[in-house]
Amino acid sequence: MMADDTATSSPPEQDETMPTPPLSWRDRSLGFLALIPATLSLLLFGAHFMRRAELGLALALAILPLLFFSRRAWVPLALSPFLLGAALIWGKTATMIARVRVSIGLPYGRMVVILGLVAFVALLAIWLLRRGVLRRRFAKASATAWASAGAFWLTALLLAVVKVKVARPLLLADRFFTGAAWIEIVIAATYAAWVVEKLLGSDHARWRKRIWLVFSLIFFAQPLLGWLVDVRFFMSPNTLHLPIPAIIVAGPLFRGENFFMLGLFLSSIVIVGPAWCSHICYMGGWDLVASGRKKFAGRMPPWATPVRIVLLLVVVGAAWLLGQLGLSIFGATIAALTFLFAGLAVIIFLSPRLGVMAHCLAYCPMGLLASVLGRLSPFRLSIKESCGGCGACSLVCRYDALRPEHITRKKVGLNCTLCTDCISRCRTHDLHLTLWGRGGAAHSLQSSGVPSMGPT
């Protein structure tokens, strides 16, 4: 898009991640009153589960109203389903009580009226959340807000399935206090919504690095706490799992069983594709920091691709062979730690020198698998034909996927991890995330700071 085109376009929408305008004293007071039905409904919903001796779930519902202190647009969208669920529960309870009392000849009218009013208040709260003063209190519900609310509920539902269906306590909080996992689920879902909001914002490149590094710190802190403080901090209770990406594929081959982590990796690849390497991998965050010591991104040497293929074959073959030979767990741990320390050496010495993520591009076998299998994901980074080849994107690509020859061919390299750092750097808006390379921008973060969401 040329400069004269942008001058005639309509004014951009305010970035949803920016603070909303302050409210007047009158609006703050009316907003407080308008939030009473939603707060009361959530507290009563929690009391319903407390009566059933589910204290953890009751407390989780009781802390949800704290989200109203945030003025983010996704909050009403995320909490409205809870209110709808409360209304349905109270309606079902009223019906059940009426049937029981009719069967034994007792009056039921007053109880039905009370529960009906409680259900009505929950429905009223849903209506109020997007009306009047509350509509002014919360930011406009754009595509970003819906995405954040979706992340909230997807995280909550997936973790709830783990909580309810898995017999042993997989969620960390449940290992220390029975039922506390419900509070952990609310916290994790809230964090997921916040992360999505930041990653879809205009300053997404900076936030991605921060969020990724925090995730990596927490990931490594968990086994450290398990070793130093309490074994319940381990990923699996009383079991030490070395935080080495290669073990995702090497561990099951060595043991000949327990393919859960490999299955989780493959399912993640189907959903997010090679973005696993730029958002999820716990070693990649450190490699990014190391490569960032050089101001502009460099290039990987020609031997990088053959080396990473050989390393993948060696890791897979050695893991299977050592398992067949009956190598002890101690011996396997020493081999894994040797591989880990060699990878750390690559991060410390090679990545800063080259200015690219050498560990991810030449050493980690999971990086190669993510790049190849990531083609199963529908998301693609596309270069428009109008790209003039200024090379600004190449300067920030730490994955060596936007070399001049890639830009000339209008096709990104295999190493692309969909980190989207290049999109925010492109001043001509010629880089987009698309679905299978078709359609408009699925995530077009322009240098002007205005996000454009959703495939068109």
pLDDT digits (tens, 9 = 90+) for 99-141: 888 888 888 888 889 999 999 999 999 999 988 888 878 877 7
Residue count of the chain, please give it: 456
Q: Are 392 and 360 found together in one domain?
A: no
- Final residue in a domain of this structure, among 147, 173, 200: 200
Picking from 149, 178, 200, the residue at the C-terminal end of a domain is 200
| Same-domain check for residues 106 and 47 | yes
Paired tokens of 304: 């990088």
Tell me: do 296 and 399 sit in the same domain: no
DSSP letter for 57, please. H
- Structural domain boundaries, residue 304: 242-371
Does residue 407 share a domain with residue 359?
Answer: no
- Does residue 414 sit within a domain? yes
Q: Which residue has the higher pLDDT, 51 or 20?
A: 51
- Lowest-confidence pick of 29-43, 183-197, 225-239: 225-239
**What pLDDT does residue 19 have?**
54
156 and 272 belong to one structural domain: no
Q: Are residues 70 and 176 in the same domain?
A: yes
Q: Give the residue from 142, 170, 200 where a domain finishes.
A: 200
For residue 265, is it within any domain? yes
- 413 with 429, same domain? yes
Whether 33 maps to a domain, the answer reads yes
Angle at 84 between CA 79 and CA 90, to 5 degrees: 125
Residue 437 confidence (pLDDT): 61
Read off the pLDDT of each residue in 427-445 and give the average, rounded to a whole number.
67
Distance CA 423, CA 90 (A): 48
Q: Is the pLDDT of residue 451 over 90?
A: no
SS3 assignment, position 383:
strand
Using DSSP, state whether 283 is helix, strand or coil.
coil
Give per-residue pLDDT as tens, 368-424: 999 899 888 888 899 998 998 899 999 999 999 999 999 999 999 989 999 988 988
For residue 327, the one-letter residue type is: L
**Domain assignment present for 223:** no
State yes or no: pLDDT of 58 exceeds 90.
Answer: yes
User: What is the distance, to the nearest Å, from the Cα of residue 314 to the centroid of all Cα atoms in its chain?
Assistant: 32
In a domain, 50, yes or no: yes
Q: Which amino acid is at 135?
A: R
Query: Is residue 436 assigned to a domain?
Result: yes
How confident is the model over 203-258, as pLDDT tens digits? 888 899 999 999 999 888 888 888 889 888 887 655 557 788 998 999 889 988 87
* 148 and 277 share one domain: no
pLDDT at 227: 84
CB 335 within 8 A of CB 322: yes
Q: Is residue 13 part of a domain?
A: no
Produce one character per residue of 405-433: b if its CB has 16 or more CB atoms within 10 Å, e if not.
Answer: ebbeeeebbbbbbbbbbbbbbbebbbbbb
Q: Are residues 261 and 347 in the same domain?
A: yes
User: How many other CB atoms are found less than 10 A from the CB of residue 57?
Assistant: 23
CA atoms within 13 A on the CB side of 289: 13
Whether 11 shows a pLDDT value over 50: the answer reads: no
For 236, the 3-state DSSP assignment is strand
pTM of this prediction? 0.82
Q: Are residues 191 and 54 in the same domain?
A: yes
Q: Are residues 366 and 383 in the same domain?
A: no
Contacts of 218 (CB under 8 A, 6+ apart): none
Domain count, the chain: 3
What percent of the chain stands above pLDDT 70? 89
Q: What is d(CA 31, CA 25) in angstroms, rounded to the nearest whole number?
A: 10
Shared domain for 55 and 185, answered yes or no, is: yes
Inside any domain, residue 41: yes
Separation CA 177–CA 199 (nearest Å): 33
